[in-house]
Amino acid sequence: MEVTAIWLLLLLPCSFPSFLISSCMGNQIDYLNRLVASRRSSNPRRPESWAQLDDQGNSHSSPVFVGSQKGLMQADKIDKLPGQPEGVDFDQYAGYVTVDPVADRALFYFFVESPVNSPNKPLVLWLNGGPGCSSLGYGAMQELGPFRVNSDGKTLYRNEYAWNNVANVIFLESPAGVGYSYSKNSSDYTQVGDKRTAEDSYVFLLNWLERFPQYKTRDLFITGESYAGHYVPQLASYILSRNKNTNQTVINLKGIAIGNAWIDDNICTKGLFDYLWTHALNSDETNEGVNKYCDFASQDLVTNKAVAKNATDQCDQYQSRALTEMGDIDLYGIYSPLCNSSAIKPGSDGNVLNFDPCSDVHVKSYLNLAKVQAALHAKATKWSACSGVGWTDSPTSTLPEIRDLAKVIRVWIYSGDTDGRVPVTSSRYAIKTLQLPVETAWQPWYSDSEIGGYVVGYKGVVFTTVRGAGHTVPSYQPARALTMIASFLQGKLPPGPSPS
């Protein structure tokens, strides 16, 4: 088994043998230990970069589907979500956007406007990763959205650190088969990958902007986490290429920000095992074995080709041993409690600063309520956080795209420093391969008079950590995450210490 064969098992919430995600009945944490233990045969050879998938390259000239959106904005407006608190002072919308009328393939979105000065705030698109996990169930309901779900699974409380304080935010469930998104063509659930996900997300945006024409000229920023290290730079690259077609709406893309991002199979895998050892999660002997027998490939950014290396059985054995030695912890946040019966404490409801390890349980209950689905204008369905869609293409690296994007738009990469799944070491190693000159030296940044993390500015790329945050940064450190994203949107580094 190649070193890169374990990357999806480490990253995904569901088993991915032969590049097929099985149906997810549990949450991401439940599946982690099973999948790490079930490391199976190597995946088929995959393309090395987005350029090999985007076969039209810079020659996108044919128009894509844009349907009539007349009256749909008002039809999508949410009157009130069941169980929402009083005093909601912003508009919210939800519904479907058709991206392929022939297949009857449609993507579901949830959109929240800013409660303050919405017409002058930018537009943010949020994408969760997986691949195959819901931006509604994770991003909107557990991380940066305006509400969190109480432990009763029926009522909501306000997230005072929601990102719609500083932007108008779209949460997109993509690709079809994820969350409420659907297709009438069953093959769309077994034949999907990075390429079609980017293409469908682009068609979604074009149609959504027709539905909400007041946002056509608004600055757009694409954000996401985890496998969105693929989604975000690929969609951004596709948009910039398509913007050259004067027959389509030009999308005013200004920047991207990706958190704890899986952006290179081999570099991120090396970063994971280095992180485990440096955080006392496995033994010296195991770490020495990983370093001795595992020859992690690297990406040649001049030729855009992976440097071939030979994996060994000993490498696989030591990697398995490393993952076994860390025991039953939450790899998303290595110092965080696990969800069990004693962790569900009603007294902690209503306080977004209290990390809730069982939040995905509450969210699943809420989003499966018939009255909630009706309020969201969603089809009556069994909603799950991560869905069983087949994945047919996934480049080994998105570093070439990040390198190219950094020349023309704002690029930030951020890392919660207690995430063991796609840890800070992986992000730092990946950025290092870009060989960018440092323009602003490594320094602490502050949120609420405390160090919120550390930041370094490279030419074209800003890298920042978020102190005390796990894989889903806003879930663990909502205030620090808001400080960081507000700085990103303003195009400036996070703040330094306040004058004493």
**What tens digit of pLDDT does each residue of 198-248 get?**
999 999 999 999 999 999 999 999 999 999 999 999 999 999 999 998 788
CATH number at residue 241: 3.40.50.1820
What is the Cβ-side half-sphere exposure of residue 458, based on CA atoms within 13 angstroms? Answer: 20
Q: Which of 54-63, 243-252, 355-364 has the lowest mean pLDDT?
A: 54-63
pLDDT value at residue 238: 97
Residue 299 is given by DSSP the state E
- Top pLDDT among 258 and 347 is at 258
Q: Which of 84-88, 323-327, 391-395 has the lowest mean pLDDT?
A: 391-395
Tokens of 406: 């950094």
- Domain with 134, as residue range(s), is 46-262+331-500
Q: Could you tell me if residue 288 is inside a domain?
A: no
Q: At 321, which helix (H) or strand (E)?
A: helix 313-325
Q: How many CB atoms lie within 10 A of CB 260?
A: 30
**Whose CA is closest to 172, among 109, 97, 257, 227?**
109
Quote the CA–CA distance of 290 and 283 in Å, as a whole number: 11
pTM (two decimals): 0.90
pLDDT value at residue 15: 34
SS3 350: coil
Quote the CA–CA distance of 127 and 95 in Å, as a whole number: 16
Q: Could you tell me if residue 369 is inside a domain?
A: yes
Q: Could you tell me if residue 41 is inside a domain?
A: no
pLDDT value at residue 49: 64
Query: Would you say 239 and 219 are in contact if contact means Cβ atoms under 8 Å apart?
Result: no
pLDDT, average across residues 61-76: 91
Tokens of 458: 């490279």
Torsion of CA 347, 146, 160, 235, to 10 degrees: 120
- Count how many domains the chain has: 1
Residue 37 is given by DSSP the state H
pLDDT value at residue 257: 99
Query: Which residue numbers are catalytic?
Result: 226, 419, 471
Q: Where are the beta strands (DSSP E) in 119-193?
A: 123-127, 147-149, 156-158, 168-173, 182-183
Quote the CA–CA distance of 401 and 59 in Å, as a whole number: 17
Q: Could you tell me if residue 21 is inside a domain?
A: no
Q: Could you tell me if residue 267 is inside a domain?
A: no
Q: Please classify residue 321 by burial: count the beta carbons closer than 10 Å to its beta carbon, then call 0-12 exposed, 13-18 middle and 19+ buried.
A: middle
pLDDT tens for 136-183 read 999 999 999 999 999 999 999 999 999 999 999 999 999 999 999 999
Tokens of 308: 């071939």
Q: Could you tell me if residue 162 is inside a domain?
A: yes
Q: Is the pLDDT of residue 95 over 60?
A: yes
Q: Could you tell me if residue 420 is inside a domain?
A: yes
Q: Could you tell me if residue 287 is inside a domain?
A: no
pLDDT, average across residues 251-269: 95
Task: Please report the DSSP string for 199-226 in residue order.
Answer: HHHHHHHHHHHHHSGGGTTS-EEEEEET
Tokens of 402: 């990040």
Distances (CA, A) of 220 to 15, 106, 110, 297, 489: 34, 22, 16, 34, 10
